[in-house]
Amino acid sequence: MADELSKDRGRRISVLYGSQTGTAQEVAERIGREAKRRYLSASVLALDDYNVTRLIKEELVIFVCATTGQGDEPDNMKKFWRFILRRNLPVNSLSAVSFAVLGLGDSSYPKFNFIAKKLNKRMIQLGGSELQSLGLADDQHELGPDAVVDPWLKQLWERVLRLYPLPPGKEIISASVRPSSRFTVKFVNSNLSNTLERTHTSKTFESSSMGSQVTSNSSPCRRHPFHARLISNNRVTAADHWQDVRLVQFDIKGSGMSHSPGDVLMVQPSNLTDVVQEFITHLALEAKQTFFLEQNDPDIPIPHQLPQPCSIQHLVEHYLDIQGVPRRYFFELLSHFTTSDLEQEKLQEFCSAEGQEELYSYCYRQKRTTLEVLQDFPSASANIPFEYLLDLIPPIQPRAFSIASSLMAHPDEVQLLVAVVNYKTKLFKPRRGLCSTWLASLDPSNKDSRVPVWVKKGTIAFPKAFDSPIVMIGPGTGCAPFRSFIEERVSQSAGDCVLFFGCRNSNKDFFFQEQWHRLVENGNLKLFTAFSRDQEDKIYVQHKLLENSSLVWNLLTHKHGWFYIAGNSQRMPTDVTEALLEIFTKEGKMDKTKAEELLKTLENTRHFQSETWS
C-alpha cells in the first residue's frame, strides 16, 4: 500500500484537528487510517502545526475540532484561527478547496460546537466548497460522539470516493487486514541497554534538578514543560470527609512563567507505580530494555515526548495512557492479535456499528481501563507485537487546573486546589483519576518530586479596572480561580469582591475558611456561604443568591459589575443561571424574555462568564 501511495502523491488529503483533549486527534487519526485503506495519502496534523499558507493549494481538507470554555478555540488551533479570521483574506481565496468540518462538543454547554460552526461558515465565506454538511458530535449522547461520527464518516467516504475513485483494479482494503504499525522498533542489546538506561535516568534527573530545558527566550509549553518542585501537598478536607481535596503548592522560581487570575496550570501526569508494574507484568515486558523508534510513514512523526533511545519502563510510566478508557479503534486493532475465536468475535462486535451499545455497557459506562480490558482478553494480550503498543494506546494527555493563587500574594509559587477522583462502579476496583491520584501520591520531602507544568490562559477573564464590582459563584473547588483574583485585588488594595461559596459541611470541606473570614473582617470581601448538609433542607449557592437579589441586581445593573460561575458542570451552572434570571425578573420588574435579553447582553460583553468542568 505504501508503494501505491508514493506513486500517486496527488491522491492526498489533509486532516487537521484542534482540541484540548486527545479526542479530536483520535478521530483525525481514524480518518487518516481509513483514507489509507482507500489508497489516499493522509497528513494528520494539529491545526497550529499545519502551514496555513498551504491551505489555498489543498484539494480536500477535513477539519475535526472541539470548542472550549465560552465558545473559544482550542489552544492548538489559535494561530490558525487568527489567520483564517483575517479580514484582508480575499473572499475567493479558497475557491479550489473542498472541505468538511466535524465538531466534537458537549450539549450541556451553552455554546455547543461553536467553533466548528464558525469554522464551517468561515470556510464558505472564503470560497471553499462544502463536500459534506457540518457534523456536530455530542458527548452527552448515550453512545458518546460516535453516534454522530460514524454516520458522518460513512457519508464522507462516499463523497470522497467520487472525487478520488479507487485506482483501477483496487478495492477498499478490508478492516480485517491488519494495518502496518506506525513505527518500527529497534531494540538495543542488553549490555548497551543498561548503560543507556542509566544515562537516560541521569539526564532526566539533571533536567529536573535544573527545573526545565526551556531557554531564557521561551516560556514553558507542552513540548518543553518546566519541572516544578513540589513545596507542599496537604489535604484540606476533614479526614472523615468522603472526598480527599488537596492544596498543592509548586515552586516555579526560575521558570520564566507568570500567571494572572483566571489562568490555568497544565500538568503532565504519569501513571501510578502499581498500575505500571501490573501492566509490565501482564504483558511480560522487560522494563529495562531500551529501543529506538523509526518512522514507517512520513506523515506520522516520532512522538516528541519519547527520548531516543527509550526504555520500556519510561514508555509505560510516562507515555502510554494505560489507565484511560480505550476507544473503539483499540478493540478493532486488538482483534488482529488474538488466537481465540471467542475473543475475536467479541472484539469485532465491539468495533462494529451494531455493537456500540454493548461496547458502551462493557467499557464506557464502567470506565474500564485499557489495562483491565487487556486482562479480559488474555489471548490477544499475549500476542501483541511490542511495536503495536504505540498504535493501540494513545499518549497520556495533560490536565488543566485553575490556578488558586496570585503571584502578588505568593511570589514564585503556583497553588492548585485538587479534588482527588475516586469512585466506584460495578467493577471490583474503584475508579481513580490519573492526574489527581498521581499528584496526591507525591511526597514534597522527596527531592525527585518534580512535576512537568506550564501555564495557559484560562477561559475566564477578569476586568482590569480595580473599581469594577465582581460577583463570584464558586462552590467546592470552583472557588480556586476566585481565590487567585481576590488575592490579586487585596494585594492592590482594591475591593468590591462578593463570593458565594458552597460545600457540604462547614467543618469538613469549607476551603480557605480562615482566609475568607480574615478578608471579611478587613472589609476586602463579602462572603455568603451555603452548607448543603448542615441542616435537614439542602441549601445551595443559588438559594443564597436569591436571598441577596437586591445586592446582586444593584452590582450588575447600577454599578456595571461582572458575574462569574466556576465549578462542576452538572446542575449547578444551570441552577445559578435560572436564579439570576429570577433576580432580573423580580428586581428589574421585567418578563422572562427581557430577563433573557439582559443575560445575553451580559454574555456578549463578557460581564457574565462561566468556567465549568465535568
Annotated binding site: 19-24, 66-69, 104-113, 139, 399-402, 433-436, 477, 532-533, 538-542, 575, 613
For 93, phi and psi rounded to 5 degrees? -65, -25
Q: Which runs of consecutive H residues, i.e. helices, occur in 335-461?
A: 341-350, 356-359, 370-376, 378-382, 389-392, 434-441
Residue 224, CB half-sphere, CA atoms under 13 Å: how many?
Answer: 13
Total Cβ atoms within 10 A of residue 551: 17
Binding-site residue positions for FAD = 399-402, 433-436, 613
C-alpha dihedral sign at 211, 217, 220, 223: negative
Binding-site residue positions for NADP(+) = 477, 532-533, 538-542, 575
Residues 252, 410 contacting (CB under 8 angstroms) = no
Helix (H, G, I), strand (E, B) or coil at 46: strand
Binding-site residue positions for FMN = 19-24, 66-69, 104-113, 139
Q: Which of 596, 585, 527, 598 is nearest to 557 (CA)?
A: 598
Q: Which of 371, 366, 358 is nearest to 328 (CA)?
A: 358
Q: Burial of 319 by CB count in 10 Å (0-12 exposed, 13-18 middle, 19+ buried)?
A: buried
Total Cβ atoms within 10 A of residue 149: 21
Q: Which runs of consecutive H residues, i.e. helices, occur in 412-491?
A: 434-441, 480-491
Which residues are within 8 A (CB) of 591 and not within 5 positions of it... i.e. 6 or more apart?
A: 585
Peptide bond into 309 cis (omega under 30): yes
In the chain, what's the furthest Cα-to-Cα distance?
Answer: 82
